[in-house]
A and B are shown apart, each in its own frame.
Chain A
Amino acid sequence: MTREEISQALVEIISDIVPDEDWASFDAEESLRGKLESMDFLDVVMELRKQYGVEVPEADYGALETLKSSIDYLEPKLKKA
């Protein structure tokens, strides 16, 4: 997957998890913590597992701080996806 595809996939996942927010215009470098509660964050991890077969170990949760850092983290994992 390209960075653009990963970005699109992430926004789709997060939009389903927190549907009341406007994610289309969300700043890719803004922290997701203010928008995602802990259970929402686990939903993101679960959906990455279900939809893309990606495992995000607990030790790596910090890498999903922003959309940009998430893409950086996921890019090598989804290279062949």
Chain B
Amino acid sequence: MSKSDRERIVITGIGLTAPNGNNLTEYRANLLASVSGVKSYSTRYFGDTVAGLCDFDALRYQSRKAKRVGTRAGSIAIYCVHEALADAKIEPDALDKARSGVFIGITEHGNVETENEIYEISKFDYQTKYWSHHHNPRTVANNPAGEVTINLGITGPHFTLGAACAAGNLGLVTGAQQLLLGEVDLALAGGVSESTGTFGIFAAFNSQNALAKHETPEKASRPFDAARNGIVVSEGGAIYVLERLDSALKRGAHIYAELAGWAYNSDATDTVLPNSQRQGECMSMAIQRAGLQPQDIHLVNTHATGTPAGDARECEALRQVFAGCPHTYFTNTKSFIGHCMGAAGALELAGNLPSFQDMLVHHTINVDNLDPACQLPNLLLDKPRKLERLDAILNNSFGMLGINCVTVVKRYA
């Protein structure tokens, strides 16, 4: 049964900041040109490592005071939202503030701010009277989305969704659901990450033997490579303007794609090790809900982070779901930008959306020796590829505690 235009959700604007680009044009060009955003980095207590950092101009859309009082996640979200609205050709002043909502996924929030405060009071013999009164508004879980509403005067709903590294996709899904529920007429949805600001995430991945190390930073993020040794922690953000199709058509919006299907489920097995079966079920459910068959998916943007176990398990799931699909290609964005955590799903999808227009799909870099456990038919390595057909993209995102969220976007027709 076909959906009415009111039941179809479309993407009409994208704002992003990634370690290798501060807008979609720059980011995509760098993906197609094999430009990595991973660099040397040194962080408090932990010391030298590698990371993906963004260099967007936070003061473009924020006062200096708002930036000082707020969080890095808030600044990233505000930048991305403004860029997304501009891309959608919606003037902030023209936004229906009561009918707009902000739905942002995060992997974690509050670690950066808490570590900073502890460091600050360490200079005063740990006396808590030196603890900032800004700590609570900075660390409440709705912080980044809430900062956006204050910045833009949006009076509709705002959620920040904690979903580990599935959060970017879940932000998108939640935005779509809020539109379908009629709670909002315009959703600003996606994900952000400020995780490079917390030494704890580097130290914890290191203790787990899951932090990437390489003498050349640009080669540290290497999903599917036999010598991969862990995750590159990155910051970033991607926010989409989502609208119901009837609204988008009414205002003559440019439509990037239709968010046609999604699914989320839980592994219920392990805190960190993913479960191939549940991942496969999640992908199959998303494909089915998009009204498609696996062979209708022409591109899969994989979640693979560069950990030995995680990449192999995702590939196992992919081989099962896409068995007998000769026209399905696979790629990976983290090889360029590292793991942007809460932003990952949304950011990685963004780099592939222009492919509906020019059919060019970015490849996976840093695979010098493909791990046999990560063998996939049509895995795009070495250079971008111009596909003959691209009608649907499946975007994977999985996170700790076994949270899976998969989105399917279709060429708008």
Seen from chain A, the residues whose Cβ lies within 8 Å of a Cβ on chain B are 16-20, 39-40, 42-43, 46, 49-50
Contacts of B124 in A (CB 8 A): 50
Q: Check if B64 sits within 8 Å of A19, measured CB to CB.
A: yes
Is B207 on the interface with A (CB-CB < 8 A)?
Answer: no
Contact mask for chain B residues 118-147; partner A; CB cutoff 8 A; 1 contact, 0 none: 000000100001101110000000000000
Q: Check if A46 sits within 8 Å of B130, measured CB to CB.
A: yes
CA distance in complex: A46, B69 (Å)? 14
Contact mask for chain B residues 62-84; partner A; CB cutoff 8 A; 1 contact, 0 none: 01110011000000000000000
CA distance in complex: A48, B133 (Å)? 14
- State whether A19 and B65 are in contact (beta carbons under 8 Å apart), knowing that A39-B133, A49-B130 are contacts in the complex: yes
Least CB distance from B139 to A in Å reads 15
**Closest B residue by C-beta to A18:** B65
Q: Contact partner of B134 among A18, A20, A39, A50, CB < 8 A?
A: A39
Q: How many residues of B contact A (CB 8 A)?
A: 11
Cross-chain pair count, CB within 8 angstroms: 24
Can you list 18 A-B pairs, Cβ within 8 angstroms, ordered by A?
Answer: A17-B65, A17-B68, A19-B64, A19-B65, A19-B68, A20-B64, A20-B65, A39-B69, A39-B133, A39-B134, A40-B65, A43-B133, A43-B134, A46-B130, A46-B132, A49-B129, A50-B124, A50-B130
- List 13 extra interface pairs beyond A39-B133, A50-B124, CB under 8 A: A16-B68, A17-B65, A17-B68, A19-B64, A19-B68, A20-B64, A20-B65, A40-B65, A42-B133, A43-B133, A43-B134, A49-B129, A49-B130
Most chain-A CB neighbours within 10 Å: which of B65, B68, B132, B133? B65
CA distance in complex: A40, B68 (Å)? 11
CA distance in complex: A18, B63 (Å)? 9
Least CB distance from B177 to A in Å reads 34
Least CB distance from A34 to B in Å reads 14
Contacts of B133 in A (CB 8 A): 39, 42-43, 46
CA distance in complex: A40, B63 (Å)? 14
Contacts of A42 in B (CB 8 A): 133
Least CB distance from A26 to B in Å reads 15
**Closest B residue by C-beta to A45:** B133
Contacts of A46 in B (CB 8 A): 130, 132-133
**Closest B residue by C-beta to A40:** B65
Contact mask for chain B residues 46-72; partner A; CB cutoff 8 A; 1 contact, 0 none: 000000000000000001110011000
Least CB distance from B278 to A in Å reads 44
Least CB distance from B282 to A in Å reads 43
CA distance in complex: A19, B65 (Å)? 6
Contact mask for chain B residues 128-172; partner A; CB cutoff 8 A; 1 contact, 0 none: 011011100000000000000000000000000000000000000
**Closest A residue by C-beta to B124:** A50
Contacts of B64 in A (CB 8 A): 19-20
Least CB distance from A62 to B in Å reads 19
